[in-house]
Amino acid sequence: MADDFLFPAMRAYLDGLVPPRHPELQAMEAEAARTGFPIVGPAAGQFCYFITRLLGARSVFELGSGFGYSTAWFARAVRDNGGGVVHHVVWDEDLSARARTHLAVLRLDDLVQFHVGEAVATLRASPGPYDLIFNDIEKKDYPASLPAIVEKLRPGGLLLVDNVLWRGRVLDPADAADSTAGVRTLTRLIVTDPAWTATVVPIRDGILAAQRR
């Protein structure tokens, strides 16, 4: 797969270290594999769960949520932190309906608020602040999302940004695509800003973890 560009055997090894998952999560993974739908996968999902638990987060906002796979990991963590809310945001009504079905089977839907609309505009219109924001929108739009994230993330809160290795494209100086430029720009904006403490975790396609000081 494209996101195995670093070490082809590493993804299977890391996924194999993830504790047993609910059959519905496994069904979502199988659906993604069958249709080619991009999800964060088990190892990155476990990382999101771990970080959310470690932070004690009880309010999470997802910028781009797909059919609810990453939402499930965040919602499990919020539940285990004592309860709260995860905001699931997608453009597409069908994706939102699929997410509702999956999360209901997982008995996590009572922790999720579902939104259909443009993710950054939805974040701007929300009250906030949030303990954790997960960013997985169109990569060309990554830099433009940062002001809204800064406005809505509480001090000490955590930002997770998916796909910051962008299947190795960020390593190619000749790649000037808008998506690649968006990933590079957001990454540099955060890692060079003293208002953030940040690192890149090379799980799957790379996750940028940044804490707002």
For the sheet with 196-201, list strands across it: 112-116, 85-90, 59-63, 130-135, 153-162, 207-212, 196-201
Domain ranges in the chain are 2-212
Q: What is the mean pLDDT of residues 11-24?
A: 94
Q: How confident is the model at residue 11 (pLDDT cuts 50, 70, 90)?
A: confident
What is the distance between the alpha carbons of residues 5 and 73, in angstroms, rounded to a whole number? 24
Strand 59-63 to strand 130-135: parallel, antiparallel, or no bridges (unpaired)? parallel
User: Taking the domain 2-212, which CATH number applies?
Assistant: 3.40.50.150
The yes-or-no verdict on residue 52 having pLDDT over 90 is: yes
pTM: 0.95
CA torsion sign, 57 to 114 to 15 to 44?
negative
pLDDT of the residue at 5: 60
- 112: its two tokens: 């999720």
Q: Mention every residue, 6+ apart, whose C-beta is less than 8 A from residue 143.
A: 182, 185, 186, 189
pLDDT in tens, 190-203: 999 999 999 999 99
Return the percentage of the chain with pLDDT > 70, whole number.
Answer: 97
